Amino acid sequence: MSVQNSPQLPKLPSADQREAYQAKVAAELDKLNAQIDEFRAKADQAKAEAEATYYSRVEELAAQRDALLVKWQEVQSASEAAWQDINTGFEAAWNELAQAFDNAIKHFS
């Protein structure tokens, strides 16, 4: 099992490049989900005393991912005029999650 680096948010495009951006973000979200699954598998293999710590961190990551998905839905349904503003909040949530993943990777390594 090899835990990857945290998912990377693609660079914010102009409004006319939304579809390509959304496809890239969807691919990164798939990677993120795979990493959460990988962390869960590591937690399953951990000794009893470490298991609670693993599961706690994994559940924190999953909760942050779920909050990110809510923001992602807002981005996807945003009007052209609101695209940049809404995406700013999404990027902030993404960066928080990426930092949490980096911390988890260090902890699980």
CA distance 17 to 35: 27
Q: Where are the alpha helices (DSSP H) in the chain?
A: 18-45, 48-76, 83-108
Of 67 and 80, which is predicted with more confidence? Answer: 67
pLDDT digits (tens, 9 = 90+) for 13-69: 666 677 888 888 888 889 889 988 888 888 777 776 677 787 888 898 899 999 888
Residue in the block written with tokens 């909050």: 67
Q: Which of 37, 107, 44 lies closest to 65 in space, CA to CA?
A: 37
pLDDT at 85 over 60: yes
- pLDDT band of 88, cuts 50, 70, 90: confident
pLDDT at 78 over 70: yes
Q: Flag whether the pTM goes above 0.75.
A: no
C-alpha torsion sign, points 24, 26, 31, 32: positive
**What per-residue confidence (pLDDT) applies to 50?**
75
Do the beta carbons of residue 94 and residue 68 sit within 8 Å? yes
